[in-house]
């Protein structure tokens, strides 16, 4: 179901899919800016979506639980929301003054003095 959802709505992820022996998969999409990537993994009845920072670390992520077949539509909506918010620069990658990367809603970034903002777009 997740594969079909991505294929219909975000086909740009499909060419990077790597299937695992258990049928789960990983995929990613490089930002237009070329600085970071969105990555998606499907393991253990959940979808994990995150950002790979410029150093190649994938610590920044969120889990979307899909334990029941009935949950799949809601899971896909939540996944879509993450993807759209990242692509629209509503959810951004930033580096704090100590050099650590994280993500934050753009409206909350203004309060992070000394931090550097990275946009999806060029």
The dihedral built from the CA positions of residue 47, 78, 13 and 49, taken in this order, carries a sign that is negative
pTM of the model: 0.92
Residue 104's pLDDT is: 95
Ordered DSSP codes for 69-80: GGGHHHHHHHHH
Residue tagged 């999806």 (tokens): 120
Residue 1's pLDDT is: 82
Residue 68's pLDDT is: 64
Residue tagged 């998969």 (tokens): 25
Residue 112's pLDDT is: 84
- Could you tell me the mean pLDDT of each successive run of 10 residues in the chain, 122 residues long? 94 96 95 96 91 96 81 90 97 94 92 90 85
DSSP structure class, residue 41: E
Q: What's the rounded Cα separation, in Å, for the pair 74 and 86?
A: 19
């Amino acid at each position: 179901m997740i594969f079909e959802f991505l294929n219909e709505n975000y086909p740009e992820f499909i060419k990077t899919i790597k299937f695992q022996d258990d049928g789960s998969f990983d995929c990613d999409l490089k930002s237009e800016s070329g600085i970071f990537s969105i990555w998606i993994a499907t393991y253990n009845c959940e979808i994990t979506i995150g950002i790979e920072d410029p150093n190649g670390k994938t610590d920044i992520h969120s889990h979307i639980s899909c334990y029941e077949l009935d949950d799949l539509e809601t899971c896909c909506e939540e996944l879509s929301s993450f993807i759209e918010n990242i692509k629209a620069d509503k959810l951004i990658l930033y580096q704090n003054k100590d050099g650590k990367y994280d993500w934050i809603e753009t409206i909350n970034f203004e309060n992070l003095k000394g931090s550097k903002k990275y946009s999806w777009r060029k």
